[in-house]
A = this chain, B = another copy of it.
Amino acid sequence: MTDGPHRLELYHFGAVANSLKPLLCLAEKGLEFTSHRLEGAKFEQYSSAFLAINPLGQVPVLRHEGHVIRESTVINEYLDEVFPVPALRPTTAYDRAQMRIWTKFVDEYFCPALTILGAHNARHYARQIPRSELHAVLERIPLKEVRDKWATIAGDSYSDTELEEARRKLGVCAQRLEQALATRTWLLGGRYSLADVSVFSMAITLPNVLPERVNAAATPQLMRWHAAMSERPAVRKTLAEHPRRGAPSAPSAPDA
Interface residues of A (CB under 8 A from B): 65, 67, 69-71, 73-75, 77-78, 81-82, 93-94, 96-97, 100-101, 104, 107-108, 144, 168
What's the least CB distance linking A82 to chain B, in Å? Answer: 5
Q: Say whether chain A's binding surface is mostly helix, strand, loop, or mixed.
A: helix
Residues of B within 8 A of A75 (CB): 97
A202 to B181, CA, bound (A): 35
Which of these, B69, B94, B100, contacts A97 with CB under 8 Å?
B69
Which of these, B67, B77, B108, contacts A100 with CB under 8 Å?
B77
A94–B78 touching, CB < 8 Å? yes
Which of these, B69, B73, B82, B96, contacts A104 with CB under 8 Å?
B73
B67–A94 touching, CB < 8 Å? yes
A69 to B104, CA, bound (A): 14
A107 to B69, CA, bound (A): 19
A104 to B69, CA, bound (A): 14
What's the least CB distance linking A136 to chain B, in Å? Answer: 24
Residues of B within 8 A of A67 (CB): 94
Pairs A-B, 8 closest by C-beta atoms: A81-B93, A74-B100, A78-B97, A74-B97, A67-B94, A82-B93, A69-B97, A78-B93
